[in-house]
Amino acid sequence: MKRGLVAGRFQPFHNGHLALARQVLSECDELIIVVGSAQFNFIDKDPFTAGERVLMIHNALADDGIDLSRCYIVPYHNDENNARWLGYLRSQVPPFDVIYSGNEFVAHLAGALDRSLAVKKPAFEKKKEYNGTSIRRLIASGRPWKHLVPRAVAKVIEEVDGAQRIKMLARSNTNPARW
């Protein structure tokens, strides 16, 4: 049994994330999706709650026909101590064999903390277009964005009035650029 892990904030889960989930499941028996920064929500950078993001991911995978019995979606509160990060992560999720990450720091840290752990750089699909920050900016400005996320994610965002939330947060004092 080979298990691959993907971690991200998923603010929101977009088509690039869905393509990555498909990639991991084509190479591994099971997929763990770690919803990072679970403790943050209702701020400009992290507008959605961990529960909303779990729902987005679950519904997007199901709508895409992915076998959910092969997937784990786990909210994860960040640990600011980088030296203990991997041990803390391992205590929060099922055992895994490979981390998929395009983040050079994550790859370095994982390799330094556990030399037996495989770290694989994923094949990113349209990385500049499929980008949470860009999608949130499009939403905040009222420009088209739904084509960048799975249909199920757009539905969750609509159900929680997420577009209005993002617009309000972009104007509010929760935006560090305004402090």
| DSSP conformational letter for 147 | G
- Give the range of the structural domain holding residue 76, as residue numbers without chain letter: 3-174
What pLDDT, on the 0 to 100 scale, is given for residue 123? 82
What pLDDT, on the 0 to 100 scale, is given for residue 179? 42
In the chain, how many domains are there?
1
The whole-angstrom distance between residue 10's C-alpha and the CA centroid of its chain comes to 3
Alpha carbon distance 100, 23 (integer Å): 10
What pLDDT, on the 0 to 100 scale, is given for residue 149? 98
Domain-embedded: residue 165: yes
pTM of the model: 0.92
Domain-embedded: residue 179: no
Alpha carbon distance 72, 64 (integer Å): 16
What pLDDT, on the 0 to 100 scale, is given for residue 173? 65
Query: For 13-47, how does the pLDDT look when each residue is reduced to its tens digit (9 = 90+)?
Result: 999 999 999 999 999 999 999 999 999 999 999 99
Q: Helix 151-159 and helix 50-63: axis angle, to 10°? A: 150
Domain-embedded: residue 50: yes
Domain-embedded: residue 142: yes
- Residue-by-residue DSSP string for 36-73: --TT--SSSS--S-HHHHHHHHHHHHHHTT--GGGEEE
What pLDDT, on the 0 to 100 scale, is given for residue 105? 87
What pLDDT, on the 0 to 100 scale, is given for residue 135? 96
Average pLDDT, the chain: 92
Domain-embedded: residue 78: yes
pLDDT (tens, 9 = 90+) of the chain, 179 residues, equals 999 999 999 999 999 999 999 999 999 999 999 999 999 999 999 999 999 999 999 999 999 999 999 999 999 999 888 889 899 999 999 999 999 998 888 888 888 888 888 899 988 777 778 999 999 999 999 999 999 999 999 999 999 999 999 999 998 865 555 44
Q: Which residues contact 107 (CB under 8 A, 6 or more apart)?
A: 99, 101, 119, 121
Where b means 16+ CB within 10 Å and e means fewer, 40-75 reads: bbeebbbbbbbebbbbbbbbbbeeeebeeeebbbbb
What phi and psi, each to the nearest 5 degrees, are found at residue 39?
-80, -10
49: domain CATH number is 3.40.50.620
